[in-house]
Structure 1
Amino acid sequence: MFNMIRREGFIIWPAYFDRALSWREGRRVPLRLSSRSPTVERLNKAAQKLGWYVKVEVAAHPKTHWRKTGRLIVKPDKPLSKQHVIKILAQELLRQETKEL
């Protein structure tokens, strides 16, 4: 047997929101909610705006182990599924992009 590392919150990768990636390559939101250039910094800003606990870590997504994009550990203020957290973050990221234009 092995021991699993328990984390508080969900691990969120920028690849989940990247419009340039396919589902197979790691995108987890529909194209209408995807972003042109998701970064850990922008995701961090979106999660903080939602009032969630966020911790940024330097790491590489397993499917692109050569590219260190970083990742977030996000803990929402109320119980949500990981997929719901990803969808809410995608919507907030889109709002930020719209404001920047």
Structure 2
Amino acid sequence: MGLALHTTRQDGRVTVSARGSIDLHSSDDLRQRLEALVEAGHKEIVVDLTAVDFCDSSGLNVLVRAYKNARDHNASFSVTGAYGRVENVLHTTGLDRFLIGAPPEG
């Protein structure tokens, strides 16, 4: 399964909802989308991983680079909705400590 990305904007927050697998073959699409959002000046970027069933090291690399790029541009970056294998890999690598944001309000 590939990766589908859907971007929504609400109340100053941009959310990229991902569906499928983030791997070597699909991670570049996510990287390009996140870089474009930061370059466009968005100050709060959230990646929703609720519908992501797999994330390999290339996907983790994209998320870490996006986090650093956002910080360099005085923006916030976080992921939400990780569960199962994806949540486990974030926890095992320690990336959950700075990538996983607070649950959305409401």
Same fold (TM over 0.5): no
Name the one with the larger strand percent: 2
Structure number with the bigger relative contact order (C-alpha 8 A, sep ≥ 6) is 1
Larger Rg: 1
Q: TM-score, normalised on structure 1?
A: 0.29
